[in-house]
């Protein structure tokens, strides 16, 4: 019997895929850091864009260390050539919004673009996977349900939030899905098409 471990690279190798992770303001931002680390370990090239409020929870230096790339935080600090909020999404095979707050979900459904993350999402030319995270009352609010339905109906992908203990001391649906669950959805979506870089 061979002692050579089974080669699972076919299941985990995502070399060549480019991911854009949009991190919004919520305590679940720490899960986005864990997810980013997993993506890098699976071979993805990962770029992170953060809202101002996201940086109140996790610093941009954390994501820079995980990805080896600078973090996009301001639509007015361009990295020439090109327009940053378009360039970032142009090269992405998949855009992930995690944690996706009620605010960013509402902006996207309403066509509002007033910061880097909302602007690049509105100009995205890649599939967008949304991982909501919010208080259970916010998740159940009719406005949130309406916005989520509209986004689903228009082709946006979702990894639904889980039920459990929340930072506000409530228990209910609204916790961002665990990074491993989001990773499964990411792998499924990425494997539906070759990387743009090989197209």
Secondary structure (3-state) at 129: strand
Q: Count other Cβ atoms within 10 Å, centred on residue 40.
A: 17
Alpha-helix residue ranges (DSSP H) falling in the chain = 9-12, 29-41, 60-67, 84-90, 102-110, 116-122, 136-140, 142-153, 179-190
Catalytic residue numbers read: 168
- CA 54/CA 62 separation, integer angstroms: 12
Q: What are the start-end ranges of the H helices in 42-178?
A: 60-67, 84-90, 102-110, 116-122, 136-140, 142-153
Looking at residue 197, what DSSP letter applies? Answer: G
């Amino acid at each position: 019997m061979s002692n050579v471990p089974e080669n699972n690279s076919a299941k985990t190798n995502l070399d060549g895929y480019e991911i854009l992770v949009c991190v919004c303001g919520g305590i679940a931002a720490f899960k986005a850091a864990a997810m980013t680390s997993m993506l890098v370990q699976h071979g993805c090239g990962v770029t992170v864009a953060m809202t101002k409020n996201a940086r109140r929870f996790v610093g941009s230096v954390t994501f820079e260390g995980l990805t080896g790339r600078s973090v996009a935080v301001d639509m007015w600090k361009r990295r020439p050539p090109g327009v940053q909020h378009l360039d970032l999404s142009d090269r992405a095979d998949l855009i992930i919004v995690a944690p996706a707050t009620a605010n960013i979900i509402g902006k996207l459904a309403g066509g509002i673009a007033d910061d880097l993350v909302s602007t690049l999402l509105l100009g995205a030319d890649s599939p967008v996977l949304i991982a909501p995270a919010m208080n259970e009352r916010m998740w159940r609010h009719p406005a949130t349900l309406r916005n989520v339905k509209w986004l689903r109906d228009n082709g946006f992908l979702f990894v639904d939030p889980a039920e459990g203990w929340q930072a506000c001391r409530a228990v209910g649906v609204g916790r961002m899905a665990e990074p491993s669950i989001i990773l499964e959805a990411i792998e499924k979506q990425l494997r539906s098409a070759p990387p743009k870089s090989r197209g």
